[in-house]
Homo-oligomer: A and B are copies of this chain.
Amino acid sequence: MKNYFSSDFKLGILGGGQLGRMLLAETQKLDIYTAILDSNKNAPCAQICNEFHQGDLLDFDAVYNFGKTVDLLTIEIENVNLDALDKLEDEGLTIFPKPKDLRIIQSKARQKNFYVDHQIPTAAFSHYAYLEELKHAVENDIVEFPFVWKAARFGYDGNGVKIVRNIEDLESLPLVECITEKLIPFKNELAVIVARNADGEVKTYPVVEMEFHPEANQVEYVICPARIDSQVAENARELALKIVSDLDFVGLLAVEMFQTVDDRILVNEVAPRPHNSGHYSIEASYTNQFEQHLRSILNLPLGNTNSKVAGIMVNLVGDEGFSGEVIYENIEEILKIDGVTPHIYGKKETRPFRKMGHVTIVNENIDDARKIAQQVKETIRVISK
């Protein structure tokens, strides 16, 4: 094993946002030296990593030159220049997750094709290179309202996903490459995080359940464990494992799924990194997802994915109608409640629906946790001065 701890080994991370920041908590715990590349000199990681490089993650030279300075490269965001990663890999750099998997995952169209090719159940879809192609398909009754529209690339936090119910909705879409999916009635949105190291050791976290904010299309509560039938949970874990195996994936893969009304599991999409749906693990799990990400990419033994207690995560997003220097109103009220831990991501400015932090609620009893989560949600407000 390479000596990663208090050594001259240098871990490179592409991206310096909140996921990187939570990953740094773990590199600091294990004293692994980290260098970060991000275009924003005020990124959440900028002040607290060992080494910060400013540069565009989609720029070949920025990524390539950064990669040449590190011993192993990983990501905290998948929208990075893959040609640079391919060249770095050709030149011998270890990169996890693998560039070939990032290439599949970066594009929702390629992801969908991958699922179809590997008999992985997912909602039926069509792919359009431009919005005009989609309009043409609608005009010719090849696609019927309502349907789900997804930008093929650069979607995040619910951006890049719309339910299209009529011609007006269609007209408001951006002109970009996209896919459409049948609108499937589902009981639950679920997620499973899988970790796999280069030796092939693999572990799944418990299935979590997600409740979405009806307007913002952002996750409002992530509940671990999901309050679902154990057979459904088992099916979800097996499906997530199949994807990891079919991709020959190394790292952390978050698999988002739908549980249909007839209890089938369909894959929605995957993320090749620590994920919002795993933040509860910092307080609730024996090994949190960020430490597990490090263990998997460094080919260390994977940690126990079981939970000590039930966990619920509430996203802290900017309130509508507030922009500017952030204030976390009533944060002291939620700190009074047992088992409540706020995480503040270090963004100085709030905007409506901007993801500013999250709050984890842990409790021995999941129903008590759910009540407290609601109380937290109704108490704290992300506003501006």
Kindly state the separation between the CA atoms of A30 and B346 in the bound complex, as whole angstroms.
8
Kindly state the separation between the CA atoms of A242 and B339 in the bound complex, as whole angstroms.
27
Residue interface bits A326-348, CB-to-B below 8 A is 1, else 0: 11100110011011011111111
Q: B30 and A342: CB pair below 8 A?
A: yes
- Residues of A283-334 at the interface with B, using a CB-CB cut-off of 8 Å, are 286-287, 291, 295, 300-301, 303-304, 306, 308-309, 326-328, 331-332
Kindly state the separation between the CA atoms of A49 and B49 in the bound complex, as whole angstroms.
9
Q: A336 and B301: CB pair below 8 A?
A: yes
A→B interface (CB under 8 Å) = 1, 3, 5-6, 21, 24-25, 28-31, 47-50, 286-287, 291, 295, 300-301, 303-304, 306, 308-309, 326-328, 331-332, 335-336, 338-339, 341-348, 357, 362
Tell me, rounded to whole Å, the shortest Cβ–Cβ distance linking A384 to chain B.
11
Tell me, rounded to whole Å, the shortest Cβ–Cβ distance linking A359 to chain B.
11
List of 6 A-B pairs having minimum Cβ-Cβ separation, nearest first: A31-B344, A304-B338, A301-B336, A308-B308, A31-B346, A301-B335
Residue of B nearest to A344 (CB): B31
CB < 8 Å neighbour of A362 from B48, B286, B301, B332: B286
Which residues of chain B are near A50, meaning CB under 8 Å?
Answer: 47-48
Q: B6 and A301: CB pair below 8 A?
A: no
Best-buried of A25, A291, A308 by chain B (most CB within 10 Å): A308
If A28-B25, A31-B345, A308-B362 touch, whether A326 touches B48 (CB-CB below 8 Å) is: no
